[in-house]
Structures are given as structure tokens and as C-alpha cells.
Amino acid sequence: MASGPQFRLLGPLEVRLDGSAVVLRAGKHRALLAALLLRPNRVVPVTELVEHVWGDTPPARTRGTLQTYVMRLRAALGDPSLIQTAADGYRMRVDPLAVDAHRFADAAARGRVAVAAEDLETARKAFAEALELWRGPVLSDVPSETLYSAHAPRLTELLMTVHEQRIDVELALGDHADLVPELFALTRDHPLRERFWAQLMLALYRSSRQAEALEAFRQLDRTLDEQLGIDPSAELRSLHQAILMGSPSLAAPVVAAVVAREPAAPMRLPDDIADFTGRAAHVERISGLVTGSVPIVTLAGPPGVGKTTLAVHVAHLLRDRFPDGQLYVDLRGYALGAPADGVDVLSRFLRALGVPPDEIPPDLDEQSTMLRSLLSGRRMLLVLDNASAPDQVRPLLPGTASCRVIVTSRDDLRGLIALNGARTVPVDVFPPAESVQLLTSLLGPGSHAELAERCGHLPLALRVAAAYLAGRGDVTISGSPIELAYAALPPAPQRLFRLLSLVPGPDFTAEAASALADVDAEGLLTVLEIARLVVSSGPGRYRFHDELVRYAAALREESDSPSEQQASWNALLNHYQRGVERCAELLYPGIVRLASSAAGPAPRISGSAEALAWLDAERPNLIAAIRHAAEHGPAVMAWQLADALRGYLWIGQHVGEWLATAHHGLQAAQESGHRPAEAAMHANLGTLYLRLGEYARSVEHHDHAVALYRELGDEDAEAGVLNNLSLVHRRSGDLTAAREVLLRCTEMLRSSSADTVSTSLYNLGQLSVELGEIDGAVDHFSQALALAPNADSHTYLGMALRLQGRLDEARAHLGRALEIGNVPAGEAETLENLAAVELAAGNTDAAASLATRALRLVADGGDQQVATSARITLGEVRRAQADLDAATDLFQQALTTARRIGYASGEVRALIGLALVLRDHGRDADARSAADEAVRRGAELGLRALELRARDLT
């Protein structure tokens, strides 16, 4: 904003000098000033000013009166030079950016330039800046009709255009849900402005409000017809057609949609140390670099010098400078175990930023790209602790100037300097004075110079030494403080300290420590915490410094026999395994798991909420344990833990962790030659890749599992995998392969339980329906009914009989299914098929009632495949009742849901329904387009019967 006087015309006229308002009570004075401000630094002729001030009734002494007004304005503004006299008029000498109307135009232009450069965040800010300047109708208290007619329409039109451009940017950034209320207001206030209607339709569609989007089009159509006698524009008609078709081109940007859900400011820093001492020069330098132009600041120094403490302290000090939040991770670059996995770290960051787990990609590069997109335009600080190499850091870098990164490392990470613009700040031991200052704060006044020297001025050693000396009177330190602190411990905490170095993850609980050392560890951990050999990382959780872990590991190798170490490691894994099994019993008892070799009591977990919390807290430790067991043994625990954890990773959609654990389990099974476990891990990965939609890889792993189970002679397991494999083939559109697999599965299951065989026959029957082989479907469903005469058997046979045209028999079986009773989804499926029977019989009222009951059972959170079928059937009923608008909405909703959940036949059925109702509307070209899409998808998916139905429409 320009300095000096500020002028506001976008609303009531205002003048502000040094923050104070200047009141211009005379309307003609306001008109004169506005006329000059709208043409800054240009001479406005007297004749034009007279017209703007007096209109058609100027005074007798026009020029003299105008001179008087100018004189009074100069006095009010406090600077006579602002209004200059010219030969034939007056000139307002002012920076145009001091006038809100010109500042508005400038911001709007900057927004358009940013859009052209695809810098949407900058564009959004520029357009928002422009719109914030409007306080009401332009020149609202300036009594000049000529001035208003000359300038208000232009400025108001620019205002509307900026609204449209800003909303386009917001839609491109995925903020559709937040825009809906505003767009409802804009279309109400400007009912003939079609661009607002188009934006409202798109925002509603992207917010899963398809019916309302279509209703918005109908409302506009009526308004234009009633008021102007015209149709909506070609652009709007095309958008309407795309919404009807569920065109993928209308989908919201994936990453931008995630941004809309992210929290305002995730705070993930560890607690700042209460007695932070010294490092004033470092704090000042790091703060200056971070808040300046340096994107990455690396704190490099030897272990124990307090790099982490310094980084966290600075990050807390700068919280106000990064209002969008702070993220922290310990990369464990120098830990005894494996460093932090990049996929796991990025997954945690993305969750902290509000990304739903099922939208986090499993690939490291894709995750890194998503993180950079999320952080674009945000002001955040990332603390990446204990990095050992530049490649460990690079996937986590935000890549935007508004975010900053602090990295700690024992090395200077020169690769980050060369390629990423990092600046290194060396961190060494304390100067002697700061060492003494820290000891004084911990021990009280005294002569501490010699002790500081013995500790090598290392902050870690100083704190351990102070903890050792506290309460010991005149005792002095003559060796390594850490060694003395350990030596001063009783044997039990000494042993626990040594064994804790076996923990592969970032932290541990007292319960895990108790299992590891076969003791009640709670009190012993308190002793270690007082000695500063472990620190609390949260309620009930502990961790210790990498150097202390290394020291503990060295002591363990010296003091504890290999068999004792192995026993402790096995006990820790057993604790984790029993914990996961206990959670599995509470959260997903129906998922079949491998036999467990774990024994003994499980951790104290009493309910499903507590089970989920335990798994969430222990997830990094469990993943580290699986990896360590796969690499170092015992291998059996790697695959057992991976298998037991599968249900949790499925429920939580932790795809990256699922992928890692399944591969570690497979590696362990292959290296140890355990074929049943190898088969189970292949089946695990096959299910995961099906979940990801990577059908080729899913088939590959399922095929491996089938071959292994066949080799083992486990027919039940083989049949189970074949049943899943048939689903992969159906999802990928290879229905021939799906049938071959199902036939093999059914043959293998002939000697199994009736329920198991009937399930396979159901799948065969449904596949036959999709292939248009209705006689075969009737045979399969009849066999299933003979084996298991339950509600599902009657429903499926009733469906097939209806498709054969045997309506009375179909009605009898479906009625019997209702008498037997079923779960809500099963009952809804029966009602939907009964509705189709009544529709085929011409009983549209009965059909409508049945289909409505079916949809009510599953519409709100129920089985969405059944809900999709119910909407299609109800749409067919509404079409038969000539309620074409309702039918259109139902087919559109069904199409959207079918595409979202991968329901292939539902997608084609919905397209056929849309084609029919569009033809009824007289929109033959649109109907042909929908039918063509149905033919293409039917042929692509192998849905022959539906493909032929669609071809009839073309």
C-alpha cells in the first residue's frame, strides 16, 4: 500500500490521513474529490468536473464556485499540493495505489498474471486482496449520477469478473465444499450470470451433491426461459451433460482436495527443554538464517553436543513465524537399528497434514510430490533430526520458499549445500563458561570448572554428571560421567539399561521393558530417568540418546551371554506378537491368521478403542521389529507379526506400512524356506495390490500363493486364494479368466462344507449373469439353494428367474427370502429384485415402494454396491412413471458411486439408464453419447449382455 493519504471509493467515500478519517460532509465536495481520484495524475477539465458535481443545474458562477470547493478540499486534505491547478482544469497528484479502486485493479491484474503462470496460490491471494477492498456499492454516498454511470458499471463488472476468476482458482485448488454457500448467494444475487451457475454446479458435483448440481441447472434453465426466453449457453449444457455422465474430467484435483481437509497448524515438535542454557550466538544465527532467505539450515556436530535440543529450542522460539505449523521426525540415521523408513516418515507427515490414510500413495516419490504440493504456499517449519546422508533428507524437503527446514547431523551434508541451498551451522561442545553455567543451574553455585573439563564440555555428559552428583555431597568425578553414572546404578537397572539397547524402534513402554528384561521395569526406569540415562518421550513412553544406546549395546555384548540376549530379544518380540494378537481379537476377529508361536500373557488392552490406540502408538516399533526379525531372526516372528498386523493396516489404510511389512514377511519366509508362510505372504500382497488397483501385480502374487498351496496339498487354502483371484479378474474386466478360476475353486470345494461350496456357486452364478448366460446362472443358483437353502440362495435364484422372465417363480423365491430374514444389505438386495419383478409386471407403484425400502436400508453407510443397484432399479421405476428428473438424478448418483467403488456392471447399467432417460427428454445426441460410453465400457469389461443392451440404444 502506498504511503500518505489513503482514499476509498469502493463503498462510501473515505479519506484517511495518518490513520484518522477526514470527514467531508458536503456531498458536492465528495463528488469533486471522487472525480479527481478516478483519474489520478491526469488533468480533469473544468467542464467535466462541473457536470459531475452539478449535473444539469450548474450555479451562475460555476468556475468561481468550483475554485472554492477545490480550496476547501485542499484544506481538508492538509496538503495544498495534492490538487494542482492546470490551464483548463485540475489534477490530483497521488500515487494510484493510494486509491482503493486502482489498487483493486492492480491486484486483479496480478492475479490474472499468476493464473497465466499457473501459480494458483499467488493468484488466490491476489484476488482475495482485491475483493477485500470492497466495502459496499462503489461511490455509494457520492451524489453524482454522471460519475456513477461513467465508472460504477465498469468497476462492478470487474468485481464480478474477479469473483469468477478467484472461484476458478479455488476450484482448481480443491476448495469446492467451502465455495458452495458463497456460490448459492452469488447465484441468488446475480441470477442471470451463467458463470456463477457453472461454478455452483461443479462445486456441488465435486462435493458429492450431484442431485443438487442437476437441480441448479434446471433452476437456471427456468430462470433464463422466464426472464429472457433463451436457453443456457453451450458451455453450461456441456457441463450439465458431463455431470450426467459422471465425466472423469470433472473430478477435483487429488492433492488440492486433500489441502482442504488439512489442519490449520499441526504441532509435532517435542517439548522444549525447560532449563535450556547457553548457545545464545547459535540461537541468534540459526533464527536469522531460518527467517531469512536460507531454505535449509544444517546443525552439524559430534554426538552429545546438543544438536537436537538446540534445533527444537529454536523451532519453539520461531513458532509465531510459521503459523501453519511445525513437523518433527527423528530419522535415526545413527541408530543401531535401521534408519527411519522414508515411506513411513512421509506417511506420518501426510497424516499430520490431514491426508486420509486411504489417499496416501505407497510410492516414496508420489508421497514426496504430495507433500510438496500440500506445503506449497504454507509457512511451516520442518525439523529433520539425526540425518546421516542427503538422500535421507531430500524426499522430505518442501520445495517452497515459504517453508524452512532445520536438519541435525553428525556430518555437514555437503550434498544439501551444493544442490539444495543449505547453510551449515557447526555445533561444537560448550565453551567453558557455558558448561559452568549449565552445571550451576543443575547443581547450584560452586566451583564447577574442573567437572566441566572432565565432561569434555559435552552437554549430554554434563547433564549425566549433574544427575550423578546430585545429592552426593562432596563426591567428585574422576572418569567418564556416563560410565560413572552407570557404575553407580544397582545391578537390576544396570541390566535393564543394557538390554534396552535391543529395542529396534524409536521408543518403548514400561510394559515392553518389563517383557524384555523379565522384571517389573517401572521403578527401574524411574532410576534410569533420574540418572539421565533414559528420558521420557511422552506419558508412559521412554527413549534414550543414540550415544547412550551404543554404550548400552557395548556393555550388553560384554556382560550378557548370547543366549541371554537372544532370550530377551525373543521375549520382546513375543510381547509385541501377543499385543497384536490381542488387538486382532478385539478389532478384526473374523480375519484368518497364521498359527502363532507366541505364548504368555498379552498386554493389558481391554477394549477396541484401547486396542486401536495401542496399535497406533506401537506402529513404528512393530514395523521396526518386523524388519529386524526379517534381517536378523527369528524369521518366524517377522511373518507372524506381519500377518497378525494385516487387519489393522487394512482397517487404517496404512498402505505404505502394509507394503513394507508384507515384503519383510515374504523375505523372511523365503530365506528360511517356510512354504506355508511364503504362500500366506503372497496372498497378503495379492490382497494389498487388489486394494491399490494394481491388478497385474495382484494376479502375480495370487498365482504364487496358489502354486505354493497346491505344492503343500492345502486345498482349502488354495480354494480361498482362487476365490480372491476371481475377484481380481472380475475387477480388471477379465471375466473369462474369472470364470475359469471360479470353476477350479468350485471343483476343489466339492467336499467342503455346504456354505463354502454355495458361496463359490453364488460367485459363478453372478459371473454368469454378467456374461449374459442366464440359464447357467439359474443352474448355479439352483445348486446353491439345494446345498444351503438360506435367504441369499432364494434371492439369487429369484434374480436369475426374473431375468429369464419367470416372474411368478422369481416372486415366490424372493418372498421366501424375506420370510427367512437377512442382514440389512441382504434384505435390501431381495427388495430391489422384488421391485424389478413388479416393474417387469407393470406394477410401478409397488415397484417404487419396494425399491425405496431397499435404498433406505443401505443408503446411509450400508453396502454401496447394493445401494447402487437399488438406485438404478428405482430410476427405472421413476422413468416408467414419467418422472424423468428424478430418474436422471438416481441414474447419475448410481453412476458416480459405481465408478468410485469399482462396480463394473453397475456403471454400465447406470449409463444405459441415463441414455434411456436422455432419449425420453428428446436429447438424442446426449443419449447416444451415454449409450456409446456404455457400449465401450461393456465391451472393455466383458459384460456381454449389458453391451448388447447398450448397442440396441445406439
Question: What pLDDT is stored for residue 731 in this prediction?
Answer: 65
- pTM assigned to the model: 0.58
For residue 640 the three cell numbers come to: 507372524
Is 371 in contact with 393 (CB distance < 8 Å)?
no
Distances in whole angstroms, Cα of residue 204 to Cα of each of 168, 250, 261, 300: 14, 11, 17, 52
For residue 789 the three cell numbers come to: 437353502
Letter for the amino acid at 458?
L
Distances in whole angstroms, Cα of residue 79 to Cα of each of 4, 5, 705: 10, 10, 88
Question: What pLDDT is stored for residue 703 in this prediction?
Answer: 93
Sheet with strand 89-92: strands edge to edge: 43-45, 89-92, 83-85
Interval 824-849: pLDDT, tens:
777 888 999 999 999 999 999 999 98
For residue 773 the three cell numbers come to: 448366460
**500-526 burial: b if 16+ Cβ within 10 Å, else e:** bbbbbbbbbbbbbbbbbbebebeebbe
DSSP 99: B
DSSP string for 223-279: HHHHHTS-PPPHHHHHHHHHHHHT-GGGPPPHHHHHHTTS-S--B-PPPPPTT----
Q: What angle (nearest 5°) sits at the alpha carbon of residue 413, between those of residues 325 and 336?
A: 85
Give the whole-angstrom CA distance, residue 89 versus residue 102: 22
Nearest to 177 by CA among 263, 266, 259: 259
Give the whole-angstrom CA distance, residue 936 versus residue 941: 9
Helix, strand or coil for residue 89?
Answer: strand
| Sequence-distant (≥ 6) Cβ neighbours of residue 372 within 8 angstroms | 397, 398, 399, 400
How far is residue 581 CA from its own chain's centroid? 29
For residue 65 the three cell numbers come to: 464556485
DSSP 41: T
As beta bridge partners, residue 422 has 296
Give the whole-angstrom CA distance, residue 438 versus residue 462: 8
Question: What pLDDT is stored for residue 789 in this prediction?
Answer: 83
Question: What pLDDT is stored for residue 262 in this prediction?
Answer: 40
Helix, strand or coil for residue 473?
Answer: coil
DSSP string for 346-415: HHHHHHHTT--GGGS-SSHHHHHHHHHHHHTT---EEEEES--SHHHHGGG---STT-EEEEEESS--HH
| Sequence-distant (≥ 6) Cβ neighbours of residue 805 within 8 angstroms | 840
As beta bridge partners, residue 6 has 16
Q: What angle (nearest 5°) sits at the alpha carbon of residue 339, between those of residues 336 and 344?
A: 145
Question: What pLDDT is stored for residue 753 in this prediction?
Answer: 56
Low-confidence ranges of the chain (pLDDT < 50): 1-2, 255-264
